[in-house]
């Protein structure tokens, strides 16, 4: 059962994705970088804003491509989705990380690679869980026109 997502649901999906990720990533990043929780937290908020915007745009474009090509969300398609999504974030987030952390673009790129290693499996698992929960919720909802 597939129904198009509304803008409201896309916003909910993006916010939930980022909140869950930050709850895991900020304490881990602070510890690994030996940097204050607040400093890493601000960077996470900056990158989160970029990522949420990219998430909504990329999700809409990817779902349009799915409809045109007839793709099913197989493990291979889910892996392609995660890789393409995270690849776009590298180009968007490296300059922000370099600026905020006062590091070179190379160091920011390496930092982003570390973040990518976290987000690749996280993106796959989060979206798989979200899709399954959404399918269950939609299956319980009465069809239009039925009491």
Q: What is the pLDDT of residues 103-119, one digit of tens each?
A: 999 999 999 898 888 88
Residue 2, domain member (yes or no): no
Q: What is the pLDDT of residues 28-74, one digit of tens each?
A: 989 988 899 999 999 999 988 898 899 889 989 999 998 999 988 89
Question: 128 and 78 in contact (C-beta within 8 Å)?
Answer: yes
Q: What is the pLDDT of residues 75-133, one digit of tens each?
A: 998 888 888 988 888 889 999 999 999 999 999 999 989 888 888 899 899 999 999 99
What's the structural domain count of the chain? 1
* Domain containing residue 28: 7-132
How many Cα atoms occupy the beta-carbon half-sphere of 123 within 13 Å?
25
Residue 142, domain member (yes or no): no
Res 37: pLDDT: 92
Compute CA distances 26 → 23, 68, 70, 118, 141, whole Å.
Answer: 6, 38, 38, 12, 36
CB atoms within 10 A of CB 72: 9
Res 16: pLDDT: 93
pLDDT confidence tier of residue 1, bands split at 50, 70 and 90: very low
Residue 42, domain member (yes or no): yes
Res 8: pLDDT: 92
């Amino acid at each position: 059962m597939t129904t198009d997502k509304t803008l409201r649901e896309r916003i909910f999906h993006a916010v939930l994705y980022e909140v869950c990720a930050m709850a895991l990533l900020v304490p881990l990043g602070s510890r690994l970088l030996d940097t204050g929780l607040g400093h890493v937290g601000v960077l996470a908020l900056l990158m989160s804003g970029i990522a949420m915007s990219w998430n909504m745009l990329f999700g809409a474009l990817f779902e349009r491509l799915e409809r045109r090509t007839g793709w099913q969300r197989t493990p291979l398609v889910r892996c392609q989705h995660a890789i393409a999504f995270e690849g776009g974030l590298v180009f968007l987030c490296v300059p922000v990380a370099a600026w905020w952390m006062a590091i070179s673009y190379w160091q920011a790129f390496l930092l982003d690679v570390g973040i990518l290693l976290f987000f690749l499996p996280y993106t796959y698992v989060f979206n798989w869980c979200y899709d399954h929960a959404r399918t269950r919720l939609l299956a319980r909802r009465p069809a239009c026109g039925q009491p």
